[in-house]
Every structure is written in structure tokens, then in C-alpha cells.
Structure 1
Amino acid sequence: MFDRTKLEKALAGTADGFRSLKGINDAPSQLHEDGSIHFDEWDWEVGVGLYGFYKHACIVGDERMKRNLTSWYAAQIARGLPPRQINSTAPMLCMALLARETNNEAWKQIVFEWAEWLVNDMPKTVDGGFQHLVKERENEGQLWDDTLFMAALFIGVAGDWLDKPEWVEEAYYQFLVHGRYLSDPVTGLWYHGWTFLGHHNYAEAFWARGTAWITIAVPELFELVGERYGPATRQIKALYRRQVEALLPLQLANGMWPTLLDQPDSPPETSATAGFAYGLLRGVRTGLLASTYRRPAMLAAKAVLTRIDAAGIVQEVSDGTAMGHDFEFYRNIPNTPTPYGQALASLLLIELLAAEEFLQDVA
């Protein structure tokens, strides 16, 4: 049974695990006894974790957590933010939500300038998709599925807050243009990426963790900025529902999903399983999905919980994965403890704690 105390203990454990993987060894947790946050890096892994903390603080009414998030951002701004790209945009989502809540004028300007850069100056692909520009490489002409969580959600929130409806429209458009090139019309699953330099989906891999970002991002889009632009909303919902329908037959008997979704003998992968479980639960709780999706989500959640060890480290998480040109590339990615594995498991645990009705057996 999903006991609240057990879930809270698991969430604290994954937080400790995140802290240790980031090399933060001067306190028993990434959250110090005074609640302060000691992440040094500004990157997408931290951005996912901070967004989860903010959501948890909103759910339980934890104003101290919000103050400590605010302190973390203030320290980062004081030392200077990193160059703008897709992955460095991820922490901007939580920052925009905090700034909107507190009406922080200085942060408002930072949010405005970052969002304006994304819309007007960041490299785009054919059809105006956000090129998956990261610090390691430009990825010219490439669309990647995780771009939607890392950057499109922020653009939507910034536009909603700053009365820039064209930015909210841009967020919707990014979901549509990525869906056009990454969603497979035959299966409903999403490919890892697309390139306009050759016009192909690389290995045509239905890579689990990449696909999970879609399952997460669609419910978040509607929750954060509402359902707008009727035809676009209908299309995005259809893409999401087709995807989750395709996922269910591919779930393994133990609740996990394999690294390559349509290849059950490929290694099971916990970060993707956590993302799918989170996205399904969010879909049910927000009315995007029927309640029948709760059972596979809870089966996946149980599988994730069993893969959190005594030190709070999430096991069976595949290492960072660039774009692959064949299936063996994905099969051969080793498992290793990773901050994003911790962040995705934490996000799932926060969602479980948010919904009392989910704390039950799935017989």
C-alpha cells in the first residue's frame, strides 16, 4: 500500500541522493536544516528538481520552501546566470512561477529578456521549431522531444504572466511542430529526434526517457497556461492520448517500461518509468485521461519505489543519451546513478503525495 509516511521518507531519500550526486556533502540533505537549498549548478536536472519543490510547496502550503527557493535564485542571479540555451532554460520555469507569485520586478525583467531571446533570437529549425541548442553542441536543424519540457513550458508561463499572448501561442506551436516531426502516425509513440539535415528520425528509436518528457509536458502545459486555441488544444490532446494508449501494451509485467519501448528485451529504465507514471497520474487528476489509466500508473510507481535504495539512489537509470543512429546505441547505454533519475522519481513522489485518492493498492 502507498503509505504517506513511506512516500515522504522516499522523497526525503531521493532528495539526499540528488544532493550526494551533485557533490553536496556538507549537509545531510540538499535541503539544509534551515531549509536552504545547496545546488551549485544551474542546469536542466536542477530545473526539474526545483519545479518539483515549488509544486510540493504549493500543494502543502510551505511558505518557507518558497522563501528558500527565492534565496537560491537570488544567489544564482547575483553570481551571474549561464549562457542561454535549451537546457539552461529549464530552471527559468520555477523562477517565473515564483516571480509571478511575488511580483518581483527585477526577476520579471530577467524572465522577459530570456523569453524574448527564445522567441526572437534562439536558432530555429525549418517551420520555426526550437533547435535543440545545448552547451555541448548546436544540434543544427534538430528537434528533440525533451525541448518541450525544458523550454516550451517556460515560454507559456512567461507569456501568460507578462501579457504576451504571442508567447503562449508560441508554446502551443512548439508542441504542434514537434508533434508533426516526432510523433509516429502509425504507433502514436514519439521518436527521440528529427533532423532537417537529411530529413529523418535517426535510428527511428522510441526511446523511453525522451518519450516520457511528452507524457509529462502535455498535462503541465494545460495546467500552467490553460486550454487555449481550440484546434491546437484538440490536436495536442489527441497526440498525448494516442501516445499513452500506445504505452500501455508495452509496459512490462513488473510495471517498468524498457529503454526502447517497442523492444521488451531492451533494458528496463526507471527514470522513464517514473516520468510515465507521473504523466499518467497527472492526466487522470486533471481530467485528460480516464480513471482506468490509474492502475498502470500505480503499477509503475510501485516499480519505481522498489528501485530506490537505502541511500535514496534511484537504480536502473540509463546514462545521458545523445541522438543515436541505431538501436544498439540505446541498448548499450550503461546504467548509472544520475541527478535526473532522482528528479523524475521525486516528481512522481510529489504527485503521489498530492493526491490522497491515489494512496491505495492496485489489485
Structure 2
Amino acid sequence: MKIFAINPGSTSTKIALFNNDRCIFIKNVKHEASELAKYKNLSEQLPYRKQTIINILEEENISLDGCDAFVGRGGGLLSMEGGVYAVNDIMLNHAANCANGVLHPANLGSLLANEFCEQYGGQAFVVNPPDVDEFEEVARVTGIKEINRTSHIHALNQKETAQRHAEAIGKKYTDCNFIVCHIGGGVSVAAHRMGRMIDGNDIVGGEGPMAPTRAGAVPADQLIRLCFSGKYSQKEMLEKCTKTGGFVDHLGTSDAIEVIEMASKGDSYAKLIWDAMIYQIIKQIGSMAAVLHGKVDGILLGGGMAHNKGLVQTITEACSFIAPVTAYPGEFEMEAMAAGAERALKGTEEIKTYTGKPVWTGYKKEC
């Protein structure tokens, strides 16, 4: 089967062509910032991004004729359960108008997939988009009535990592319990029970371990006092939690390799911050093990920082009493999108319908 995957980013669009599960072409198509600045909103970028992709394909002598599926990243949507979704009019409308309120180039994924599908035929899909939410209701409750927990996890890479490990141990993902850690620019740790991510840290909402650019969980009282200290604006505080926290706030860099080098050269503070991040990941793994009642088939480490052997070893030493620890370094986003589309085309996974209705709208009964 011929599958074309599209993953739009801030200044580039990653594309890949697959024959079944074999990648035969991959390219990170660059977009000039000055060119993108000409457009008032994301949707207006669509024709430009599509034409840029077509130009690269023509230069590389790559044809999309006969493609069975086009699969896009799928941002801008309301919450849904995980799976493979056919692109429909509701999805296109929500993506174009940023229904979830998160303005990100990933919103163009389904729109681009649909554009290519209309031109070349085949089917258009999104696979485990960013707004996958499979939390159990009890996991949503906080001690403040107006605040509920929601799921913002690296769903695409987490589920692909879990799918791969389940296959490696001769089981189905839907028959396993895993704790999956994505350790990259953001850090998410989630409990996967029988194919569903029932709990995990909200990487957008400021939960869980610190990350290169994110603060993670911090003491609420100190955070509130800092917010009202007059030292920072609301925008600056939000950025401190999601863009300029973590390594950036402590060490002035978001580059994990640079932090490791600083620590190896005797910078004791850099070593402390690196060790603290790993320590916080270990604590989050422990909490997810409790969520799964200790019935864990494996602890899986993915993302770019899983290439670091010291990080993997430290987590393994701390957590192997819970379950075997296995590293799957790097990200599998393009492969994950193609694999989902392939399962849908083969009929081994149900194709779901995006209804535009969030999976959770409130507790079943008011107290």
C-alpha cells in the first residue's frame, strides 16, 4: 500500500512516502519565515505549503499517483479517543478554525491530507491526533471545583511505541498494561491499560516532570504568589510554564546534549538539574504504576533523550522492580501515521468518525 504522511511544523513540513511499513522517501520541507509572515492565519498558509511540497516532490521525481492514503498530523480538534479517523467536513472545519483553541501548524495536517486526497484519490486520515483523551473520570478531579484535568500527552508517539513493544513480546496492545514515557522537548508519562491512556501528566497544563522548555509541576502557593508579585506578566508566566521553564530557566539552554556536556565538565548545577529531571520522571513512573495497580507488562522509554544511555540506566535501576524497562529512542511520528493508515486500509483497525463532540463535557452527576 502506498501511503503519504504529512506533519506540518512551525517553519517546515515533514513529509514521507511509504510502501506498507517501509519508508521510501522522507523530507523536511523548509518554509521561509518571511514567506509565512505574509499570511494572516494558519489556514491561509495551506495553498503555499501544498505547492511547496509539490515542488519538492517534482524535484525529487516522486509521484503520488496511486496513493492509497494520505494521513495528516491532525491538530486543532476537540478531544476524542485514540485511533484512526477518516477526514470529514466537521474535522476540516474544526482544524481550519482551531476548535480546541491551540494555534499550531499541526492544524494544517488534516487539511493538507484532504487536499492531496482530492487531487490524487485514495483516503484521508488522521491517526492519534494531539487531542486524544482517554482519561477515566476519576483522573480528571482536582481539589478545586472549577479546575479539571485534561489529557495533553504525546499520544501519537506513545501509542506507536506501545504498539511496537506489544508486537515485540507477541501480544496485542489492547491486551497489555504499559507505562510509556516520551522524553524529548516535552516529557509525558502515561498509564496505558488495555489500549487506552487512562492517566498521565498534562504537558500543556504544567504537570509532571520538568522538561527542556517546560516547568512541570511546581508548588501552587509559590506559583500563585509569583504570578501576583508584579515581576512577570500573565503572558510571561504562561511562557515560563510551557516555553521558557525547565532547562531554559535554570541553565539558559533547551539543548539536552549541551546540558549533559556541561555536567560532564564539572558544572555541578547542570548535573543537579539533569538528575532532577530524571528523578521526577522516576516519580511519575511510580505514580502510573499505582494507577495500574502494579499490573505492568513493561515500562517503555521513547523520545530523543532516550538515546542517552545514562538516563536509561538510571530509570532502569530505579524502576525495573515494577516491570522490565525497554528503550525505543527517537520519535516515530511519520511511521506511526503510516502504520495507522495501513491498519485502517487492511481492516485490522476500525476507521472512526470524528463527530466534533468532545469525549468529556462534565461529571455525570453534580454533588
TM-score (norm 1): 0.29
More helix by percentage: 1
Larger Rg: 1 or 2? 2
TM-score (norm 2): 0.29
More strand by percentage: 2
